[in-house]
Structure 1
Amino acid sequence: MTNDAPPRASAAELGYEQARAELASVVERLETGGITLEESLALWERGEQLADVCQRWLDGARERLSAAREERES
């Protein structure tokens, strides 16, 4: 049995929009059900990775905005 799916990028290599879109897809697949426990666990783990990536992007954006505001106020 071969896996013909294209290789997935490392979560850390993804931009925010890519990670968010894949995370939404993971959530949809988990909510739909009809997959094995092993598939569910793998999706859950990938979702956790993607959520971490999204959070890092958002935290970085927040820091940049704060720095820009501080610079403007000084």
Structure 2
Amino acid sequence: MHVGRGSAVQDHVALAEIELCGELIIAATSAPEERLSEDRIDEVLRVEAARRGADRDRRRGRQEITP
């Protein structure tokens, strides 16, 4: 299949992952310690915010779909 010029295919999940990787790289290069702690990684990746959002969704009656 040939994709012509101007025909951009976007994978939103992949773009989000690339953005998060970039944020981790920035955090790692600006950290005074040699490695980021697990807590700092969770902070950069906004893990707690995602958990709070999932908990809120469950309270509202939405079910998570797991593979």
Scaled by the length of structure 1, the TM-score of the pair is 0.32
* TM-score, with structure 2 as normaliser: 0.34
Structure ranking higher on relative contact order (CA contacts 8 Å, 6+ apart): 1
